[in-house]
Amino acid sequence: MAKGYWASVYPVISDPESLTAYNELAGPAVRAGGGRVLSRDGRVVAHEAGMASRVVLIEFDSFEQAVATHESEAYQKALAALPDGFERDFRIVEGID
């Protein structure tokens, strides 16, 4: 079974402290769904149209597990805690089996 991944890119974070409520809810929701953080706030080298922005990569045992975690009540509460005007590029992708 192919793994699933959450890939998030944060083009602009004007106030990192405003993410505290989201982070406090999202971490436990991701762990409860079986997610493992592979990369967060590490160094980035961007090429072509890429931007050297904050990137978060989370791995799940399956694509279905990644989707179900995003749709879970716990993670939806985390999303509701994101501040107004917040911008991110979020994708759920299927790995190679």
pTM greater than the 0.85 cutoff: yes
Confidence at residue 8, expressed as pLDDT on a 0 to 100 scale: 92
Buried residues in 9-28 as b, exposed as e (16+ CB within 10 A): bbeeeeeeeebeebeebbee
Confidence at residue 66, expressed as pLDDT on a 0 to 100 scale: 98
At 18, is the secondary structure helix, strand, or coil?
helix
CATH class of the structural domain 4-94: alpha beta
Q: Are strands 4-12 and 87-94 parallel, antiparallel or unpaired?
A: antiparallel
Q: How many CB atoms lie within 10 A of CB 33?
A: 21
Where are the domains positioned within the chain? 4-94
Residues of the chain with pLDDT under 70: none
Rounded CA-CA distance 70/62 in Å is 13
